[in-house]
A and B are shown apart, each in its own frame.
Chain A
Amino acid sequence: MMTIKFMLNGTEQTIKTDPSRRLLDVLRKDFNLKGSKEGCGEGECGACAILLDGHITNSCCLPLASVHKRSIMTIEGYAKTARFDVLSNSFAEAGAVQCGICTPGMILAAESLLNQNPAPTDAQIRIGISGNLCRCTGYNMIVKAIQSAAKRGEGLW
């Protein structure tokens, strides 16, 4: 047992637990944040993606100890931002949300990408979402959605 302190969706949290636990389990179980999913559980599908200090990473391979004194944002926190609204509308319009299981990870991958590169090319978008699997859309709709969010949200990123 150890005391781990970190920012979660803008609020400082202190939790006493086994620090080797996966961040994914802590988010889902201890904080009841179910937006991060367990897909493959080994870093290949991106369903568990979160933002660590603003950059996408996989919460299934990250021990809680590694986020000590750092800042996490999950899809639940991100959903309260203006940037999310732009991405959400663009995803909906482009048909980029179908079964929905990849969507929280895709949205956070898009945020992480746009944060570094507000006007990405198609090829850069495909690299940005390369760690996120989607079995419904064939990806083209997601690429289109991110392209349209970049235009529509100009100035936000």
Chain B
Amino acid sequence: MVKHLIPNTLNEALEALSKHPYQIIGGGTDAMIQYRNHSDLSPRFKAHVMYIMNLKALQGISSNDAAIIIQSMTPLETLNSHALVPPLLRKVILEMASPALRYVATLAGNIVNASPAGDALVPLYLWDTEVVLQSHQNSRKIRLSECITGPKKTGIRADELLTQIIIPKHDESGHYYQKVGGRRADAIAKISFAGTYKINNNTLTDIRMAFGAVSATIVRQRDIENMIIGLNINDLSTKIEQLQAAYAPYIQPIDDQRSNRVYRKQVALNLIADFINHIIKEASRP
């Protein structure tokens, strides 16, 4: 018999989790479909279910000197219009789902589902985002890239709740985002790509790139980014092929109902070139 719990406080939720594992439902926009049954029948949940969407303690956005802190049940629609949220993340969110889904869907949902095609994960990887996992007695903070261990797999324990998403503050000259999908709204990405860059006196002082839907998890390679950090903007165009060759082994997409391997790989490599050309063009503006 499946047991249902709507906790009134975070403490009540954590205490319950310390006794039994629960299927956690936030906004429910993925879980309710994943466990969908025939019309007018309850979803086929296999475990006890806990509904945390309305927990007050898990709502809100704040910041300190080093980072922006997003409580895990803050809806995407709230992030979308919040001044503290980085413009790149807002741009990504605007292309996720639709206003109706964004009103209940959360960043935390994107993280715990750990889909290789999770749109919000792509910019979050760029910023070395961390997540806070809280249990009844403890709390730990880990890198998002360590939290997600594979497609649909995370290192979150059964007694833990993802309570905060911590985005380190990041200085950029500009950013770039492309999502390739079948429809502007409500599409799951065939491939997505985000990049940020920083230029000082014609020198590229930072560059970050992340790819979605091209591998088991989001692809980000600091070692490849380092290959071109420190270069003069005028020398960037000569490095495009070298960058594409360096990323090629990490771009290992699959064939599925949305797209195929060959197309995804080619587009991913094209997007690298487009991003670099975008930086060159922006840098040459008077």
| Residues of A near any B CB (own CB < 8 A) | 2, 18-22, 25, 28-29, 38, 41-44, 46, 49, 52, 55-58, 60-63, 65-66, 68-70, 109, 112-113, 127-128, 130-132
* Interchain CA distance A61-B34 in the complex, whole Å: 10
How many whole Å from B224's CB to the nearest CB in chain A? 35
Q: Which of B10-18, B99-107, B132-140, B271-279 contacts A (4 or more CB under 8 A)?
A: B99-107
Mark B1-40 against chain A: 1 for CB-CB distance below 8 A, else 0: 0101010000000000000000001011100110010011
- Shortest Cβ distance from A28 into B: residue: B40
Which residues of A sit under 8 angstroms from B45, Cβ to Cβ?
20
Mark B79-99 against chain A: 1 for CB-CB distance below 8 A, else 0: 000000000000000100111
How many whole Å from B251's CB to the nearest CB in chain A? 28
Which residues of A sit under 8 angstroms from B51, Cβ to Cβ?
19, 63, 65-66, 68
Q: For this complex, into which size category does the number of interface residues on chain B fall?
A: 20 to 34
- The contact of A52 among B33, B43, B104, by CB within 8 Å, is B104
How many whole Å from A38's CB to the nearest CB in chain B? 6
A49 close to B54 (CB less than 8 A): no
**Chief secondary structure at chain B's binding surface:** loop
B185 close to A (CB within 8 Å): yes
B160 close to A (CB within 8 Å): no
A42 close to B77 (CB less than 8 A): no
B236 close to A (CB within 8 Å): no
A130 close to B184 (CB less than 8 A): yes
A43 in contact with B39 given A20-B4, A61-B28 (CB within 8 Å): no
Which residues of B sit under 8 angstroms from A20, Cβ to Cβ?
2, 4, 42-43, 45, 49
| Residues of B near any A CB (own CB < 8 A) | 2, 4, 6, 25, 27-29, 32-33, 36, 39-40, 42-43, 45, 49, 51, 53-54, 77, 94, 97-101, 103-104, 184-186
B29 close to A29 (CB less than 8 A): no
How many whole Å from B65's CB to the nearest CB in chain A? 32
- Shortest Cβ distance from B49 into A: residue: A20
Which residues of A sit under 8 angstroms from B103, Cβ to Cβ?
52, 55-57
Which residues of B sit under 8 angstroms from A60, Cβ to Cβ?
32
A43 close to B100 (CB less than 8 A): yes
A43 in contact with B101 given A63-B43, A68-B54 (CB within 8 Å): yes
B25 close to A25 (CB less than 8 A): no
A131 close to B43 (CB less than 8 A): no
The list of the 8 closest CB pairs from A to B, nearest first, reads: A131-B98, A130-B185, A65-B51, A61-B32, A131-B100, A56-B100, A66-B53, A25-B40
- The contact of A43 among B42, B53, B97, by CB within 8 Å, is B97
- The contact of B99 among A18, A61, A70, A109, by CB within 8 Å, is A109
B2 close to A58 (CB less than 8 A): no
A69 in contact with B29 given A21-B42, A57-B101 (CB within 8 Å): no
A2 close to B25 (CB less than 8 A): no
* Interchain CA distance A38-B33 in the complex, whole Å: 13
A112 in contact with B99 given A21-B42, A66-B51, A130-B186 (CB within 8 Å): yes
How many whole Å from A69's CB to the nearest CB in chain B? 7
* Interchain CA distance A18-B28 in the complex, whole Å: 16
A62 in contact with B99 given A68-B6, A69-B54 (CB within 8 Å): no
B186 close to A43 (CB less than 8 A): yes
Which residues of A sit under 8 angstroms from B77, Cβ to Cβ?
55
A41 in contact with B39 given A66-B54, A131-B97 (CB within 8 Å): yes
Which residues of B sit under 8 angstroms from A70, Cβ to Cβ?
54
A49 close to B6 (CB less than 8 A): no
A63 close to B54 (CB less than 8 A): no
A63 close to B25 (CB less than 8 A): yes
A2 close to B32 (CB less than 8 A): no
B33 close to A61 (CB less than 8 A): yes
Which residues of A sit under 8 angstroms from B36, Cβ to Cβ?
41-42
Which residues of A sit under 8 angstroms from B40, Cβ to Cβ?
25, 28-29
* Interchain CA distance A143-B135 in the complex, whole Å: 48
How many whole Å from B55's CB to the nearest CB in chain A? 11
A128 in contact with B32 given A55-B77, A68-B6 (CB within 8 Å): no
B186 close to A44 (CB less than 8 A): yes
* Interchain CA distance A128-B103 in the complex, whole Å: 12
